[in-house]
């Protein structure tokens, strides 16, 4: 069951996505900003998209402190592992992970949820938190719903995001 706060956030995401002819990157950035500003533990929020040819993820939209990790190889770090596993990855304490890419010394936990289009994992939403173990099943469900909404709203535009550097 999703709490009232998460239902409100989901309603706001739906409202953002109703904008006609909204370019995908603008919409994704607006979603990142909404989640970053609205949910206390979401200190950094970003969308990465896959380039299957180069086996790399590329950051297309984010909210929070800028990161130098704008391209991540499949298999490297939490995001890179999700690109291969196609499953959510919750890391309550990033210090416990051997295959972790530190975007900031302040990050204590991370949650990555894949974004599917027509059954294919084309990208993901990545949440970094300065708090140890803040993420619940509710967060996973919320972000899964956000990814489904993004996939439905931007469809073909998302396919194009996979191929740009």
Please report, for the domain that includes residue 25, its CATH number: 3.30.450.40
pTM more than 0.85: yes
Owning domain of residue 152: 4-161
- Is pLDDT at 52 greater than 60 in this prediction? yes
- 122: how many CB neighbours lie within 10 A of its CB? 20
Residue 73: phi and psi, rounded to 5, are: -70, 145
Per-residue DSSP letter, 71:
E
Domain count for the chain: 1
Does residue 94 have a pLDDT over 70?
yes
60 pLDDT band, cuts 50/70/90, is very high
């Amino acid at each position: 069951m999703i709490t009232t706060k998460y239902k409100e956030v989901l309603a706001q995401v739906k409202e953002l996505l109703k904008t006609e002819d909204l370019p995908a990157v603008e919409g994704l950035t607006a979603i990142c900003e909404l989640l970053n500003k609205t949910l206390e533990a979401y200190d950094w929020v970003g969308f990465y998209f896959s380039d299957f040819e180069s086996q790399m993820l590329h950051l297309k939209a984010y909210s929070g402190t800028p990161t130098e990790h704008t391209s991540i190889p499949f298999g490297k770090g939490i995001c890179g592992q999700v690109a291969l596993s196609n499953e959510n990855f919750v890391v309550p304490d990033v210090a416990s992970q051997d295959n972790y890419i530190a975007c900031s010394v302040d990050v204590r936990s991370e949650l990555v949820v894949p974004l599917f289009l027509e059954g294919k994992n084309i990208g993901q939403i990545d949440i970094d938190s300065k708090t140890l173990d803040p993420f619940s099943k509710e967060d996973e469900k919320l972000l899964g719903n956000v990814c489904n909404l993004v996939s439905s709203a931007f469809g073909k535009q998302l396919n194009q995001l996979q191929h740009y550097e």
